[in-house]
Chains A and B, each alone.
Chain A
Amino acid sequence: MRRLIAVLIENEAGALSRVVGLFAQRNYNIESLSVAPTEDPTLSRLTLCTSGDDSKIEQITKHLNRLIEVVRVVDLTDGEHVEREMMLLKVRAEGVMRAEVKRTCDIFRGQIVDVAENLYTVLLTGTSGKLDNFIRALPKTAIVEVVRSGVSGIGRNEKILGL
């Protein structure tokens, strides 16, 4: 089962390597990882997308908590949450495809953020599933380059992950 885990961690050199190392060392799977400092520059926030049955996820959160630099861990998928991922794509846009890509982009509420003679660069945000669908909606041969940010997530309502 897919899970989204949010981690507050000391913003220190080497802290991220401990998280990544833990996943490698214990044979856990990372589907995506996004990380950046928070409004408090001493803290970073990670959103980790992983998968596993309940007992595996329990072990993952326990082991994350065991890392000395980890301040808080929460499994966002335990409750209601909002998640988004950002994607930048370079898409071939020649001849009839130029209009077709633009139309598909509009349907998905994407933005064209750069234009070259034969290429569009498209920015799209949404759930990971929406990004997957956009890729599927384009002809395979049209896609030249893809970069995805990994998922970021936050709890809904009053739920706050802080110090």
Chain B
Amino acid sequence: MATTEILTVNMGPQHPSTHGVLQLVLQLDGEIVVKATPHIGFLHRGVEKLSEYRTYHQTLPLTDRLDYLAPMHNNFGYVLAVEKLLGITDEIPERAQVIRVIMAELTRLKSHLVWLACHALDIGAMTVFIYCFREREQIMDIYEKVSGARMTSNYMRVGGLMADLPDGLDKDIRSFVDDMPRHIETYEGLLTGNKIWQKRIMGVGTISAEDAIDVGLSGPSLRASGVDWDLRRDNPYSGYENYDFQVPQGTGEGDTWSRYKARLDEMRESCKIVRQGLDRLKPGPVLADIPKICLPPKKDVVNTIEGLIHHFKIVTEGFKPPVGEIYQGVENPKGELGFYIISDGSSHPYRMRIRPPSFVNLQALPQMVQGRLIADVVAVIGTLDIVLGEIDR
């Protein structure tokens, strides 16, 4: 009688497909996963704690580094939260709101492109990877033009934006989103009809709607299980209620195939939103005129004593929101990104808690891979679309 042993394998933190520094301790019975335990913390930088020692403005660059595949969306969530705390949500100029939405949706495209690239690469389709990165590069260029940085954009500000769009960029963005659906067709052409691709992801990592809600999944991973929930539509912010878009749910069966379809459709919807945003772009200021909170224009700083004082006060001291606590969630490409801020009336948050979508979504991994093969683990990590930068914060 042959005896078998459970083999324990440390998958990661140095592993080609654990998307950064995730460590999975796999208990294997041959190729079958008996138990998977995610270990996190290899990328911990203490963003939440650091923010307690910084003014609200100074925390902003830290948010770029949460989900580094969708930096502007993190900026977006954070500034919305601080604006809500300050009670200035209604004073944000129209143009700033529209540009925020445009950048947010471009960011969604950017994040989903990396998801598709890595997901396909993990399953062995190398070519899609490079195709996706070609389009991502164009979004990077747009990023660079608006903010000067490709990854750590730090573009949004409490009260508006760092700067207006450079001249002519709206045309670039429009031509990009006009081309994008064609590129998505190309990816689909390489993958969707491919029998091996279908076999690898259909019925893999299935999670029911109840389980998904119990675990706290959000974003496309939740919607693909058939739960119709999108913060952009159900709890709109920054004028999302004015845009016409669908909330795709894939096939609604909660398997990797459904998530694949849902995200691809979401990319098409994002293109639509960006196009609508460009249509409603009207000239105007991009930063609210609230001297105690928003930095004054450079010309006032140089020419007027009030401007200089405001500038000095905001930079050295920051602003002091009223005592209170607020929560603001936004529909990040990966799910609900939330900022919970407690203010004690000083210029630093008393406590800031970030609800990172990847962190919560990762919790579903053990039950999704249990009893499946090693190859499925890789597929499930890919489909959950996790980013360790925000899991570890």
Q: Tell whether A pairs with B.
A: no
Residues of A within 8 A of B (CB): none
Residues of B within 8 A of A (CB): none
